[in-house]
Amino acid sequence: MTGANRAGVLSAYTYFLFNVVGDNVEGLEIARQAVERAPSVLENRLTYIKLLIVMQQFAEASKQITTLEKLDRFGAYAREIEIRKGALSTAMKAAAK
């Protein structure tokens, strides 16, 4: 299994690791692999960004948001991007307290 198909399986496994097993570190790594294997599947990148924010990896989350904006050529994910930007800002403020 390669490309987008493999990335889909990895994405499902990410959900399982984060939400069932509670292994956030491994879940984040699997999410990164899903993005790496299928960079044009923007849903995987959205999930990866969300997990980066949860894990307080703010610099990488910001970088991934910038990449997502470049890949979203037609603005189909503009709302989701703004939501992630807001979540990142809120998390950064909370972490600074």
- What does the alpha-carbon distance between residue 56 and residue 75 come to, in Å, rounded to a whole number? 27
What is the value of pTM for the model shown? 0.89
Could you read off the pLDDT of 3-20 as tens digits, one per residue?
667 777 888 888 888 888
Could you read off the pLDDT of 45-88 as tens digits, one per residue?
999 999 999 999 999 999 999 999 999 999 999 999 999 999 99
User: How many CA atoms, within 13 angstroms, populate the side-chain half-sphere of residue 47?
Assistant: 27
- Please give the pLDDT value at position 50: 94
Question: C-alpha angle 70/51/90, rounded to 5°?
Answer: 80
Domains within the chain, CATH numbers bracketed: 3-96 (1.25.40.10)
Question: C-alpha angle 89/33/63, rounded to 5°?
Answer: 30
- What does the alpha-carbon distance between residue 95 and residue 97 come to, in Å, rounded to a whole number? 5
